[in-house]
Structure 1
Amino acid sequence: MADAELTPTGYIQHHLQNLTVQVGEGGGFWTLNLDTLLTAVLMGLLMVVLFWLATRNATAGVPGKWQAFVEICLEFVDQQARDTYRGPSKLVTPIAITLFFWILLMNLIKMIPADFIAKPLELLGVHYWKPVPTADVNATLGMSISVFFLMLFFAIKSQGLGGFSKGFLTAPFGKWMMPFNLILNIVEWVSKPVSLAMRLFGNMFGGEIVFLLIWVLGGAGILGMLGGAAFGFGWMIFHLLVIPLQAFIFMMLSIVYLSLSEDAH
C-alpha cells in the first residue's frame, strides 16, 4: 500500500503492523511475528560478532580502541551485577551482559526512521515490517518469561525443591494461612515478569508512536516539515537517554529478581 493513499492514522497503523506468518492451520496462538523474530535474532548475532571482533586481536598490553570500549562496557555491567547480586552463581554476569547489550541493540533500531527500512522492503514485496523488536509485547514477554524460569531455577537450586515449596506455602503469614500465602506468592511471582515486560514494551511502543506522529507532521507543508525536524531532533536526543536506560532497568531488575529468588523466607 503506497503511503500517498494513507491518511495520517492509516500511515501510523501501517507502520505498527507486524509481518506475520501462521504456523499450522487456524493461526491464533501460532501466529508468529516474523519481523520481530528475525530482527531480534539479527541483533543477537550482531552482538556476538561485535564482541568477537573485540576479542579476535585482544592483547594484554595497550588495547585497540574497540577492545578498550568493549572492555569498559563489560566491566561496567559486571560491576553492576556484582554490586546487586550476592549469591554464589557465576551465571548472573553472563545473563546481565546478554540482556543489556541485546536489548540495547534492539532499542537502537528506533533511531532509524521507519520509512528508511519500510521503503526498501516494499521494493522486495514486503509491505509490513515493524522494525523495533522491543516495541512488540511478544518479544518483551518472551525475555521476561525466560527471566521467570531462571528465577525458579535459582530458587530451587538455592533452597531445594522442599525448601522452596515450604517457603511458597508458609511465607509470609505462617502455615495456618496457607491459602492466603499461596495466592500472595503466586501474584508476587507472576507480577515480576509481567511488569518487567510491560515496562520495556510501553516505553518503546510509546516512543515509536511519537516518532511516527512527528514523521507525519513533517509531511504537512513547509511549517510542518520545520516543526517535524525540530520535534524529531528533540525527541531523538531524549531517546538517546531512554534507549540505554530501558536496557539497564531491565537488566538490573532481572538481577534483583534472581537475587531475591535465592533468599529463603
Structure 2
Amino acid sequence: MYSAEKELFMMCFSPLEQFTLISLIPLHFGNFYFSFTNSSLFMLLATGIFLALFSLVTVNGGTLVPGPWQSFLEMIYEFVTSLVREQIGPKGTKYFPVIFTLFTFILFSNLIGMVPYSFTTTSHFLVTFTLSFAIFVAVTIIGFQIHGLHFFSFLLPPGAPLVLAPFLVVIELVSYCFRGISLGVRLFANMMAGHTLVKILSGFAWSMLSLAGLLKMASAIPFLVVFALMFLEVGVACLQAYVFTILTCIYLNDAIHLH
C-alpha cells in the first residue's frame, strides 16, 4: 500500500506531468480515436489569438501612427519578409504566406506555453514532426516541379569525383531525408528540456521553502534561478521559432536553386 501511494505521489509531481495529453472531448469513429485534447485546444488558442490580434489591428486598415500591437505585428511581418528575401530571394515571395503562418504559429504556441498551467503544443514530438515532415514533403515536391528529374543532381556535390559518387549520393540522400526528422526534433527537444528544467527547479525551491532554518532562507536562490530561467525560456521560445523558420527557408532555397 505504501509503495502504491509513493508511486502515485511521484506521478503527480513528476516534471513530465505538464506534457500529459488530456482528452477533453472523446471522439470515436469505429476503431479510430479522434479525441479533442488539451494539445488541440492550445493549438486552436494560439491560432485564434493571432487571428484575433491581426483582425483587431487591420480591421480599419491600421493607423498612420501605429500603436503597440500594430507595431508588434508590423515587426513580425517585416522580420519574416526580410528572412524570405535574404534566404530565398525574389522567387520565395509566393511562399511568404506559408512561412509567415508557420513562424507565427510556432512563436505563439511557444509563448503561450510559458504561461503557468498552460500547455506547450510544440513540446510534443508528434506535433513538431508533423510540421517538419509536411515541410520536407512540400519542399521535395517543389524541387521536382521546378527541376524535374534534374533535382536528383542535388544529391551529388558539384566537382565531386565520379569514383566517390555512389558513396556521396547515399550520404547526401540520408542527410536529405533526415531533414524531415531533425527539424522537428530540434524544436521538440529544446522546448521540452527547458520546461522540464524549470519544473524541476521550481519543485526543488518549493521543497526547500517547506523546510525550516537556513534551508528555508536558502530557497530564495533556486527561486531566483527559476525567475531568470523564465526570461531565458522566453528567449528560447522566440529563437526556436526563428530557427525552424530560417531552416525552412534554407531548404526551400535549396529546392529552388539547387545550391
TM-score tier by shorter-chain length is 0.7 to 0.9
2:102 to 93, 99, 103: 99
Greater shift after overlay, 198-207 or 86-95?
86-95
Alignment partner, residue 241 of structure 1:
235
1:74 to 68, 74, 77: 77
8 Å Cα contact 1:87/1:262 also seen in 2: no
State the Cα distance separating 1:143 from its structure 2 match: 1.0
Aligned-partner SS, 1:216: helix
Tell me the distance in 1 between the aligned counterparts of 2:77 and 2:102: 12
Deviations, residues 177-198 of structure 1 (Å, cap 9, x unaligned): 7754553343122111211111
8 Å Cα contact 2:122/2:187 also seen in 1: yes
Q: Give 2:231's aligned amino acid.
A: I
Q: Which runs of 5+ in 2 are unaligned?
A: 210-215
8 Å Cα contact 1:135/1:201 also seen in 2: yes
1:183 to 162, 170, 184: 170
**Inter-CA distance 74–6: structure 2 relative to 1 (3 Å threshold):** same
Q: Which runs of 5+ in 1 are unaligned?
A: 118-130
Question: Do structure 1's residue 151 and structure 2's residue 139 form an aligned pair?
Answer: yes
**Inter-CA distance 208–31: structure 2 relative to 1 (3 Å threshold):** farther
Give the fraction of aligned pairs with identical amino acids, expressed as a percent: 24
Deviations, residues 160-188 of structure 1 (Å, cap 9, x unaligned): x23224x2676665888775455334312
Alignment partner, residue 110 of structure 1:
113
TM-score using structure 2 length:
0.80
**Inter-CA distance 89–243: structure 2 relative to 1 (3 Å threshold):** closer
TM-score using structure 1 length:
0.78
Residue-pair matches, total: 244
1:50 to 37, 43, 53: 53
Question: Do structure 1's residue 132 and structure 2's residue 120 form an aligned pair?
Answer: yes
**Inter-CA distance 170–238: structure 2 relative to 1 (3 Å threshold):** closer
- Across the aligned residues of Structure 1 and Structure 2, the Cα RMSD in angstroms comes to 3.1
Q: Give 1:152's aligned amino acid.
A: T
Tell me the distance in 1 between the aligned counterparts of 2:102 and 2:124: 16
State the Cα distance separating 1:70 from its structure 2 match: 1.4
Tell me the distance in 1 between the aligned counterparts of 2:11 and 2:221: 16
Alignment partner, residue 198 of structure 1:
185
1:63 to 58, 61, 66: 66
8 Å Cα contact 1:168/1:181 also seen in 2: no
